[in-house]
Structure 1
Amino acid sequence: MATSDCELEQNFAFNLLPSKRASFLSDRTTLTLLMKWSMLGRISVQSYSFDRNFRPYNSDRFAQCFFRDPVVLSSLAGMSKLSSSAPLDQPAVWVDAQPVPCTAVSMELFDPLYSCGIVRPSGHMVKCFHDVYPDYDELRQMLQEEESENYYAVGRAEREEFLFRLFKHLCLGGELCQYEDTVEPYISTTRRIYKDLISVQKDPETKKISVVSTVLKVSARDESGRCFPGRPEEEQTFAYLVIDPHKRHVTLFSHVHGVGDLEV
């Protein structure tokens, strides 16, 4: 069996930061919306510190060490009591970490939703006919169906951005999602969660703000076959590592698709 990267190089070690809480999980409006979208109790946010300098080229090794760290594994044990495939029982033997672009510092990315007629000037979503879903709209069609004429109303590169992915996750919601008639709740909640998760800095000379966080979409499997965060074929079961290299903090943001509240 091949020696892992963590064995060949010095490991990252992690410590749980229980006092670092995502503010959106204390916001009453956000919690009400997450409940309506069938995501409340199934979204988890946990933060950790780590002990070595992080560079983006170290992303794979960082993720491997994260899912093999005893502190992390212990904290994952309380994240999902209803999902049969998570958490991990043992250190991961397979970890996938896909870099996710994260450069957006404004909500201008969503302007094309209005200019392309997906959303009316009032903010109401334009309804459309669908063979399967009787109450369907142009926004969900644009998010999910590549053959939609509006699929690339938001450009290819922009669709890959963490900001857009977060927006899409919220719009599609959970198993028993009650969808909105207007786009504003999705955009405002996306903004609040995004600001909670990422770190930015201002250039002292140009005054321009830029994102310093690195974002990885992650999944892991242990020897017993258990997978985190859950079934990989379910798009709304997801996990992201959001890494702040300056503070040496990493936040695990995840959601398990299904019915009922998870104990977190």
Structure 2
Amino acid sequence: METSKFSFRLLPNKSFPSMESRETRYLLEKWYMKGRMKLVSFFYDQHFQSYEKEAFARDFFASPCVREHFFLVPHGADDSWRPVRSNVARIEVENVACTITSMSFFDRLKTEGVIRESGSIRKCLDEYRDGFQIADELRRVLLVVDSDNYEIFDESDRDEFIFRIFRHFCLGGAVCQYEDDVQPYFETTKNFYHDVVSVAKDPDTKKLSIVSRVFRVECYGDEGDYVFPGNGPHEQNICYLIVDMVKRHVTAWYHDFGQGIM
């Protein structure tokens, strides 16, 4: 049996102002993410290097403190929130790039005509991909690999944490009511990114850089069965660990896509 290197304790006073505003709460409800998304932060006790990410994630989900405070959306008839199952045998941990410091990253959506100068999103003929309704050019950029504008973001762009945040908010939950204007997506992305990612200023160049490390995780059971996040692999079943290695803080962001009206 492997011993744990990392221990965790809750940061009870950690706040996420962007998620607590009335406007954001309204949007998350509209996008069917309210009540299906969790953010919780912990302090960890040992120095962490990125190459230890699997051990870090394993210790995180095995931690009694994490299991006490990081509950998941229920499935089925039992409506009680639940911890991650204890019999996690394997955890897959993916490095996520986190280098972008400006929303100008998304300017190409306007220059390429996906959204108009006013911010309105160009419409297109309805189609469905992987359970998502695609009724505008923005969702075509996010989901349709063979669309005309898909390549305005290359694979390294799409790997960036800020792009993933934007994409998750744009796609929403199982019964998402989509926006006609891009601004709510931009504002929510910007404010959320500011809340969860730590930055530092270079004393020589005065430029800001990201000091957080981000990992996407999936958990599997003893027989290779999918455990977490959500009740099966899906674009919108997500769990990210956002690690500030200076402060030794880790924030878990979890979202469960859902199956319809709760």
TM-score normalised over the length of structure 2: 0.90
Contact 2:124 2:136 in 1 (8 A): yes
Equivalent in the alignment of 2:13: 19
Equivalent in the alignment of 2:233: 233
How far has the Cα of 1:91 moved from its partner? Answer: 5.0
Q: 2:69 aligns with which of 48, 59, 75?
A: 75
Unpaired runs of 5+ in structure 2? none
**CA-to-partner distance for each residue in 1:1-26, whole Å, 9 max, x for gaps?**
xx54xx3xx61001111221221221
Aligned equivalents of 1:75, 1:134: Cα separation in 2: 35
RMSD across aligned positions (CA): 2.1
Equivalent in the alignment of 1:129: 125
Equivalent in the alignment of 1:182: 181
How far has the Cα of 1:222 moved from its partner? Answer: 4.1
**CA-to-partner distance for each residue in 1:164-196, whole Å, 9 max, x for gaps?**
000000001111111100111100100011111
For the residue of structure 2 that corresponds to 1:25, the secondary structure is helix
Equivalent in the alignment of 1:243: 243
Equivalent in the alignment of 1:257: 257
Aligned equivalents of 1:175, 1:134: Cα separation in 2: 10
Contact 1:87 1:227 in 2 (8 A): no
Is the deviation greater in 161-170 or in 22-31? 22-31
Correspondence list, 1:23-102, <5 A: 23-76=17-70, 78-82=71-75, 87-102=83-98
Is the deviation greater in 84-93 or in 135-144? 84-93
Aligned equivalents of 1:260, 1:230: Cα separation in 2: 16
**CA-to-partner distance for each residue in 1:123-154, whole Å, 9 max, x for gaps?**
11111113448870000011001011111112
Contact 1:113 1:119 in 2 (8 A): yes
Read off the aligned partner of 1:28 and give its amino acid letter.
R
How far has the Cα of 1:93 moved from its partner? Answer: 1.4
Q: Which has the higher contact order (CA 8 A, sep 6+)?
A: 1
Contact 1:230 1:237 in 2 (8 A): yes
Is the deviation greater in 82-91 or in 218-227? 82-91
TM-score normalised over the length of structure 1: 0.90
1:111 correspondence with 2:107:
yes
Read off the aligned partner of 1:246 and give its amino acid letter.
V
Q: 1:206 to 1:131 in 2, by over 3 A?
A: closer
Read off the aligned partner of 1:99 and give its amino acid letter.
N
**Matched residue count:** 254
Aligned equivalents of 1:230, 1:217: Cα separation in 2: 13
Unpaired runs of 5+ in structure 1? none
Is the deviation greater in 216-225 or in 98-107? 216-225
